[in-house]
């Protein structure tokens, strides 16, 4: 069975087929992109709190062209917003989150030696890497990177005359996104097939840890929705480069009437959001899975309502395909259609509520061990509640008239899928770091990192709801053009203040991460006293995960603090005692 | 033995899920077509005759490939049928290009002044389909070479099975697209 | 020079940080336990910290924000349907704040109450169908009336009878707005983007008999209490007409005509009395449209019928503008 070929530096670290190494490649690329995306956001936050002021740091990063005299150029402002969104949504929270934990956890938690196809897995990473290079290169294009928002609505994204970023920058964006979709599809196919086929003996579907359930559903969502993004951008590419009129109609730009007639920009929005909304859940579900696992382990309690948790994940995933219209209430769509989308959208509140209450029930009468991972998981529950609740306002078509495209939206989705997913990712990194690198991350730095992040994340995004309800539109280069927004200036200053603090503390996390890889205290095989299979593998990473036979699974993953047991955890490999009921 | 069974099952599953993904891609394109058509300003025209020939090619090539699979199951050589499939596949490609020429002759253009999304859609969707078919042709070429080199036998014909599934799917996809364009 | 200084500071703080971590780990090596595993003392401090920050500090800051920033939210609605939206908004806000102020304190309280202790064992609680059913059904029961209420408001707004409304066109382009009044016949003349030329900046088809009396303006004047129907077009990219005070928003899409009907209820003069002299109604763009997106605005004035009449008579009809060379 075991094919022990010698690993050279190149096969071990670069073109590795080992799922654990590929996971680390995804993680570190994701973290790097996270720093880039965050830096971009801090640059435009400076402009928002101090419009028109000169900052040396802006000139340092953007150069004389985009920040003449240290003052941000309005086109560059939109480019920064666009790139920040694209990087965070796709590069960090899709590839960085799913790519890392699907690759790392799926074989380890289901008891497989590796993914179904190691080669496809490697290909998936290198497509992602190529996409990263292309996307970053667009930052250095003369006309600037894509600037039409991460949703790239045409005609703005189709016409270089409308905004300079829609020239070469947008082309590179589309190429990067195509590579990215290929990477996601290769990865997704692999995850599904691995989970369905390579489970070890005894690992039935209802014994799977919730992380694996979440990752399976995410992979299915991705495989079904990313191709639609591809078809949507294919038509856009034809419009941009070959003069077709799928999305363009009746346009005069730069004083010139275009020949295009009969196209419909709304068509683009439909296709885009058919991916775009499932994409939101592609981001959120892995975090939900990770948090379920981390909360259960560190509460020393079984996750409450396992079946309901799986059911809720499935329902959320299904609903995510029929709610895309809530992004388009104000596009002049048929009001009746708007009603339907309001209805389906608000239905999502029900499975989400089930998840929240199940988390609370898991914490009830627990014996909580506050690892940094656990803190991030609890932080996730808090942001998931806050962000989920404001979703009830945005999902309601009548209320959306007032807050659509205002800072209320920005606050809502940053809390519910931005911060929440980042918390899920952080929880995962802190929790599985000992398994990834055989060492522990520094606990005290972890605590500090969490509390500063928690305070500054709410400090940044909670006030945005007030801005939005005051009518302040998002994606404005400055709010000073309207006297009615002058009284909101101090809120913007507070937001930027917290954004800088929150950004700086992430550097501390990165320091902790790399310091611990080399100098952290040595981890034991199962430092968190956890039940799942990955903690039965040796500390030293080996190709094939287990030195001997793959362990057999005898029980579900959540036997913590079971009465009559000697310890407060029973690994999945321990057979049921005589007369013991599974759960 | 068991491992090869799992590999067998996993490869087919991989292919089927991949097919699901391709279905979504074309579902996206054709639903865009429907949505766009409902908005009016739509140029109606007949399908070129060459597209009917394409359809015949698709059916014929599926038949030859089916014979190839039957042969290998009976431990006979599949090479000749694979070559036939390859040839008909190439004819399909040719007929598609001819079909586009027909469209141009009718005044239905992909782009530019006087083009209409109804025409553009036909070009883009059939091109996207053709690219998928060319992927199939490449896989088919490799399978044919392997068959020629006697890589396959009664106990080992996964390669032919996989290309069959894909090829029939691509054929069905064309059939769907052809009927869709003709009658929607 | 500053660059070197900043670099120096970063280097020194890194060294200090590394040394602190080393010392911390050396001490624990002497104690013979992994300092990065969690002990009861950590559980204690973190549990208390969690309650103080998540339960007290965070919730207090939310209250603080409502106290000091609450005055900014929902500026007075100056249209009939705007008031109904605001009521719906207040009901929904009250509901979600209610849920927020129940669930967040529970979360914070649990973190404190059940903070870990090596002598204790958690309660093995796998599932409970009644409980799970309860928190599936209760949210559904709460949501149902909210959905119905919301949909009713939505239907009232989108299905208003606009047959008696004054028709005004809003024409968006990078980066300004133009309005076109439909004139005495209350019907807008047909337009086509290919006809945009010179003074005919909206591409109105002058052969259309409804076109001659149309009036192009740079401000929107509305009569208080009189229903209007806004029809939106765009010349280049997607824009969005957002009139926050009237709770009106609708995208302007090239190649399409979208519309929104409403009735203003307060004049600019009345609002100036209430809100201060610098108050103005505005129309702004709320869909990313290019470099000057942030500055794409038009003044909106609501006034009495007499004032409106005086203003509209002073404007030139299209027939006059386009024929007088």
Q: What is the DSSP string of A404-417?
A: TTBHHHHHHHIIII
User: What would the pLDDT profile of A181-220 be if each residue is shown by its tens digit?
Assistant: 999 999 999 999 999 999 999 999 999 999 999 999 999 9
Mutate to test the interface with B, among A189, A218, A229, A231 (most CBs of B within 10 A): A231
Per mean pLDDT, which range of A245-249, C24-28, C166-170, C176-180 is the poorest? C24-28
For residues A45, A51, A53, A54, the Cα torsion angle rounded to the nearest 10 degrees is 40
What is the average pLDDT value for chain A, to the nearest integer? Answer: 93
Domain boundary among C102, C132, C158: C158
Mark yes or no for CB contact A223/B26 under 8 Å: no
Domain range enclosing C283: 166-323
Mark yes or no for CB contact A246/B128 under 8 Å: no
pLDDT at A7: 65
User: What would the pLDDT profile of A107-146 be if each residue is shown by its tens digit?
Assistant: 999 999 999 888 999 999 999 999 999 999 999 999 999 9
Residues C79, C193 within the same domain: no
Q: Assign C140 a pLDDT band (cuts: 50, 70, 90).
A: very high
Touching check for A404 and chain C: CB below 8 Å?
Answer: yes
Using the Cα atoms of residue B38, residue B40, residue B41 and residue B44 in order, give the sign of their dihedral.
Answer: positive
Write down the ipTM of this complex.
Answer: 0.94
> Which long-range contacts link B162-166 to residues 24+ away (Cβ below 8 Å)?
B162/B11, B162/B12, B162/B15, B163/B65, B163/B136, B163/B139, B164/B65, B164/B66, B164/B68, B164/B69, B165/B12, B165/B15, B165/B16, B165/B19, B166/B15, B166/B19, B166/B136, B166/B139
Q: Which residues of C touch A367 (CB under 8 A)?
A: 114, 116-117, 120-122
Residues C116, C72 within the same domain: yes
pLDDT at A168: 95
> Does the residue C299 lie in any domain?
yes
Touching check for B111 and chain A: CB below 8 Å?
Answer: yes
Q: Is C147 exposed, middle or buried (0-12, 13-18, 19+ CB in 10 A)?
A: buried
pLDDT at B2: 58
Using the Cα atoms of residue A188, residue A192, residue A193 and residue A195 in order, give the sign of their dihedral.
Answer: positive
Residues C259, C207 within the same domain: yes
Q: Which residues of A touch B113 (CB under 8 A)?
A: 259
* Domain ranges, ordered by start, for chain B: 2-183
Touching check for B107 and chain A: CB below 8 Å?
Answer: no
Q: At what angle do helices A372-394 and A265-299 cross, to 10 degrees?
A: 140
Q: What is the mean pLDDT of residues A222-248?
A: 92
Q: Assign A321 to helix, strand or coil.
A: coil
Spatial distance between the Cα atoms of C318 and A318, rounded to a whole number of angstroms: 54
User: What would the pLDDT profile of C268-325 be if each residue is shown by its tens digit?
Assistant: 999 999 988 889 999 999 999 999 999 999 999 999 999 999 999 999 898 888 775 4
Q: Which residues of B touch A267 (CB under 8 A)?
A: 32, 35-36
* Cross-strand bridge partners of residue A539: none
Residues C85, C201 within the same domain: no
pLDDT at A2: 42
pTM of the predicted protein model: 0.94
pLDDT at A337 over 80: yes
pLDDT at A5: 55
- Assigned token pair, A9: 């530096």
* Domain ranges, ordered by start, for chain A: 18-536
- Assigned token pair, A168: 């070469």
pLDDT at C24: 75
Q: Assign B34 a pLDDT band (cuts: 50, 70, 90).
A: confident
DSSP A13: I
Q: What is the mean pLDDT of residues B91-105?
A: 93
User: What would the pLDDT profile of C217-237 be if each residue is shown by its tens digit?
Assistant: 999 999 999 999 999 999 999
pLDDT at C60 over 70: yes
Q: What is the mean pLDDT of residues C206-213?
A: 90
User: Domain total for chain C?
Assistant: 2
Report the percent of chain A where pLDDT is more than 90.
85
Q: Is C292 exposed, middle or buried (0-12, 13-18, 19+ CB in 10 A)?
A: middle
User: What would the pLDDT profile of A161-192 be if each residue is shown by its tens digit?
Assistant: 999 999 999 999 999 999 999 999 999 999 99
Q: Which residue has the higher pLDDT, A24 or B116?
A: A24
Q: Assign C199 a pLDDT band (cuts: 50, 70, 90).
A: confident
pLDDT at A13: 75
CATH number of B2-183: 1.20.120.80
Mark yes or no for CB contact B24/A228 under 8 Å: yes
> Does the residue C288 lie in any domain?
yes
Spatial distance between the Cα atoms of B140 and B151, rounded to a whole number of angstroms: 14
Nearest alpha-carbon partner for B99 in B134, B50, B55: B50
Report the percent of chain A where pLDDT is more than 70.
99
Touching check for B183 and chain A: CB below 8 Å?
Answer: no
Residues C99, C194 within the same domain: no
Spatial distance between the Cα atoms of A455 and C111, rounded to a whole number of angstroms: 17
* Cross-strand bridge partners of residue C168: C181, C230
Spatial distance between the Cα atoms of A324 and C321, rounded to a whole number of angstroms: 45
pLDDT at B1 over 60: no
Whether residue A302 contacts residue A559, with contact meaning beta carbons closer than 8 Å, is answered with yes
C-alpha distances in Å from residue A195, one per residue of A112, A203, A407 = 9, 10, 40
Q: What is the mean pLDDT of residues B53-71?
A: 94
- In CATH, what number is assigned to the domain containing residue C300? 2.60.40.420
**Please, which residues 160-189 of chain C have a Cβ atom closer than 8 Å to chain A?**
173-174
Residues C315, C186 within the same domain: yes
> Does the residue C7 lie in any domain?
no
DSSP C317: B
Spatial distance between the Cα atoms of A178 and B76, rounded to a whole number of angstroms: 43
Residues C172, C315 within the same domain: yes
Spatial distance between the Cα atoms of B56 and B88, rounded to a whole number of angstroms: 10
> Which long-range contacts link C18-26 to residues 24+ away (Cβ below 8 Å)?
C18/A515, C18/A519, C21/A442, C21/A445, C21/A515, C21/A519, C22/A519, C24/A442, C24/A444, C25/A521
Superfamily of segment(s) A18-536: Cytochrome c oxidase-like, subunit I domain (1.20.210.10)
Q: What is the mean pLDDT of residues B18-47?
A: 87
For residues C26, C30, C35, C39, the Cα torsion angle rounded to the nearest 10 degrees is -160
- Assigned token pair, A491: 């809120």
Most confident listed range (A51-60, A331-340, C207-216, C220-229): C220-229
* Cross-strand bridge partners of residue C260: C230
Using the Cα atoms of residue C179, residue C180, residue C184 and residue C187 in order, give the sign of their dihedral.
Answer: negative
Mutate to test the interface with C, among A71, A330, A564 (most CBs of C within 10 A): A330
**Helix H segments across A470-528?**
489-519
Touching check for A150 and chain C: CB below 8 Å?
Answer: no
CA A488 to chain centroid, in Å, comes to 30
User: What would the pLDDT profile of A509-550 be if each residue is shown by its tens digit?
Assistant: 999 999 999 988 899 999 999 999 999 999 888 888 999 889
Q: What is the mean pLDDT of residues A234-247?
A: 92
Q: What is the mean pLDDT of residues C191-200?
A: 88
Mark yes or no for CB contact C238/A363 under 8 Å: no
pLDDT at A52: 87
Per mean pLDDT, which range of B121-130, C13-22, C312-321 is the poorest? C13-22
pLDDT at A558: 94
Residues C182, C139 within the same domain: no
pLDDT at A4 over 70: no
pLDDT at A1 over 50: no
Touching check for A121 and chain B: CB below 8 Å?
Answer: no
């Amino acid at each position: 069975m075991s094919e022990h070929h010698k690993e050279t530096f190149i096969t071990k670290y670069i073109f590795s087929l080992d799922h654990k190494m590929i996971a680390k490649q995804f993680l570190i690329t994701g973290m790097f992109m996270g720093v880039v995306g965050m830096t971009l956001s801090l640059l435009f936050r400076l402009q928002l709190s101090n419009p028109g002021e000169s900052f040396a740091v802006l000139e340092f990063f953007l150069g004389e062209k985009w920040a003449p005299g240290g003052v941000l150029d309005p086109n560059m402002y939109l480019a920064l917003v666009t790139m920040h969104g694209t990087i965070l949504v796709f590069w960090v929270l899709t590839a960085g989150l799913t790519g890392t934990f699907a690759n790392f956890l799926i074989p380890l938690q289901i008891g497989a030696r590796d993914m179904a196809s190691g080669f496809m897995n490697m290909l998936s990473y290198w497509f992602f890497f190529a996409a990263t290079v292309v996307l970053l290169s667009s930052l250095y294009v003369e006309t600037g990177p894509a600037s039409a928002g991460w949703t790239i609505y045409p005609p703005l994204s189709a016409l270089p005359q409308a905004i300079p970023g829609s020239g070469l920058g947008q082309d590179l964006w589309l190429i990067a996104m195509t590579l990215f979709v290929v990477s996601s599809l290769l990865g997704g196919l692999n995850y599904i097939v691995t989970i369905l086929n390579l489970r070890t003996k005894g690992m039935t579907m209802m014994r799977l840890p919730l992380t694996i359930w979440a990752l399976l559903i995410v992979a299915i969502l991705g495989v079904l929705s990313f191709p639609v993004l591809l078809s949507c951008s294919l038509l856009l590419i034809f419009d941009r480069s070959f003069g077709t009129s799928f999305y363009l109609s009746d346009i005069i730009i730069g004083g010139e009437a275009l020949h295009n007639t009969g196209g419909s920009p709304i068509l683009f929005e439909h296709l885009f959001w058919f991916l775009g909304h499932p994409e939101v859940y592609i981001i959120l579900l892995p975090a939900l899975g990770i948090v379920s696992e981390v909360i259960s382990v560190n509460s020393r309690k079984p996750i409450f309502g396992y079946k309901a948790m799986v059911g809720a994940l499935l329902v959320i995933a299904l609903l995510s395909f029929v709610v895309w219209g809530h992004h388009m209430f104000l596009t002049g769509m048929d009001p009746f259609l708007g009603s339907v989308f309001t209805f389906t959208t608000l239905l999502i509140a029900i499975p989400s509520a089930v998840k929240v209450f199940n988390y609370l029930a898991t914490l009830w009468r627990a014996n909580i061990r506050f690892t940094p991972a656990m803190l991030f998981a609890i932080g996730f529950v808090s942001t998931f509640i806050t962000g989920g609740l404001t979703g009830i306002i945005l999902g309601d078509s009548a209320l959306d008239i007032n807050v659509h495209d205002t800072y209320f939206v920005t606050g809502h989705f940053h809390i519910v899928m931005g911060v929440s997913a980042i918390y899920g990712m952080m929880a995962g990194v802190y929790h599985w770091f000992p398994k990834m690198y055989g060492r522990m991350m520094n606990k005290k730095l972890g605590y500090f990192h969490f509390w500063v992040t928690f305070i500054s994340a709410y400090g940044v995004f909670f006030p945005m709801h007030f801005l939005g309800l005051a009518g302040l539109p998002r994606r404005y280069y400055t709010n000073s053009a309207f006297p009615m927004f002058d009284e909101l200036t101090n809120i913007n200053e507070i937001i930027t203040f917290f954004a800088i603090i929150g950004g700086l503390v992430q550097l501390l996390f990165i320091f902790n991460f790399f310091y611990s890889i080399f100098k952290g205290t040595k981890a034991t095989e199962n430092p968190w006293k956890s039940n799942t299979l990955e903690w039965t593998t040796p500390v030293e990473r080996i190709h094939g995960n287990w030195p001997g036979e793959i362990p057999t699974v005898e029980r579900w993953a959540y036997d913590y603090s079971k009465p009559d047991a000697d310890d407060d955890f029973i690994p999945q490999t321990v057979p049921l005692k005589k007369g013991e009921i599974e759960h | 033995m068991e491992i090869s069974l799992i590999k067998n099952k996993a490869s087919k599953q991989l292919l089927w899920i991949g097919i699901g993904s391709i279905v979504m891609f074309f579902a996206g394109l054709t639903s865009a077509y429907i949505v766009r058509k409902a908005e009016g300003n739509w140029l109606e025209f007949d399908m070129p005759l060459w597209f009917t020939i394409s359809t015949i090619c698709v059916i014929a090539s599926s038949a030859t490939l089916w014979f190839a699979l039957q042969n290998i199951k009976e431990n006979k050589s599949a090479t000749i049928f694979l070559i036939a499939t390859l040839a008909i596949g190439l004819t399909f490609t040719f007929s598609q290009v001819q079909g586009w020429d027909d469209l141009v002759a009718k005044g239905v253009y992909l782009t530019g002044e006087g083009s209409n999304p109804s025409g553009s859609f036909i070009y883009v969707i059939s091109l996207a389909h053709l690219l998928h078919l060319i992927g199939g042709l490449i896989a088919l070429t490799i399978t044919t070479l392997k068959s020629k080199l006697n890589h396959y036998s009664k106990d080992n014909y996964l390669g032919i099975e996989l290309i069959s599934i894909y090829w029939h799917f691509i054929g069905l996809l064309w059939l769907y697209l052809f009927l869709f364009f003709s009658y929607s | 020079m500053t660059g070197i200084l900043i670099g120096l500071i970063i280097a020194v703080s890194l060294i200090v940080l590394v040394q602190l971590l080393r010392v911390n780990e050396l001490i624990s090596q002497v104690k013979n336990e992994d300092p990065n595993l969690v002990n009861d003392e950590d559980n204690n401090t973190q549990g208390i910290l969690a309650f103080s920050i998540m339960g007290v500090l965070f919730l207090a800051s939310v209250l603080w924000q409502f106290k000091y920033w609450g005055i900014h939210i929902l500026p007075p609605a100056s249209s009939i349907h705007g008031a109904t939206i605001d009521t719906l908004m207040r009901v929904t806000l009250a509901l979600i704040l209610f849920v927020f102020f129940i669930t967040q304190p529970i979360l914070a309280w649990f973190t404190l109450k059940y903070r870990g202790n090596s002598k204790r064992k958690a309660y093995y609680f796998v599932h409970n169908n009644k409980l799970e059913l309860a928190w599936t059904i209760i949210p559904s029961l709460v949501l149902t009336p909210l959905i119905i209420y919301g949909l009713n408001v939505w239907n009232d707004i989108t299905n208003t009878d606009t047959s008696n409304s004054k028709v005004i066109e809003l024409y968006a382009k990078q980066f300004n707005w133009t309005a076109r009044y439909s004139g005495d016949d209350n019907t807008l003349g047909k337009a086509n983007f290919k006809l945009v030329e010179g003074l005919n900046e909206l591409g109105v088809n002058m052969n259309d008999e409804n076109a001659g009396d149309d009036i192009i303006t740079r401000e929107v004047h509305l009569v208080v209490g009189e229903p209007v129907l806004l029809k939106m077009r765009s010349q280049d990219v997607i824009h969005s007409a957002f009139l926050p005070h009237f709770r009106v928003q609708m995208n302007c899409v090239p190649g399409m005509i979208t519309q929104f009907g409403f009735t203003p209820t307060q004049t600019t003069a009345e609002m100036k009395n209430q809100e201060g002299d610098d108050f103005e109604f505005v129309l702004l763009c709320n869909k990313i449209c290019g470099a000057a997106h942030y500055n794409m605005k038009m003044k909106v004035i609501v006034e009495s019928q007499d004032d409106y009449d005086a203003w509209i008579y002073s404007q030139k009809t299209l027939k006059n503008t386009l024929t007088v060379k």
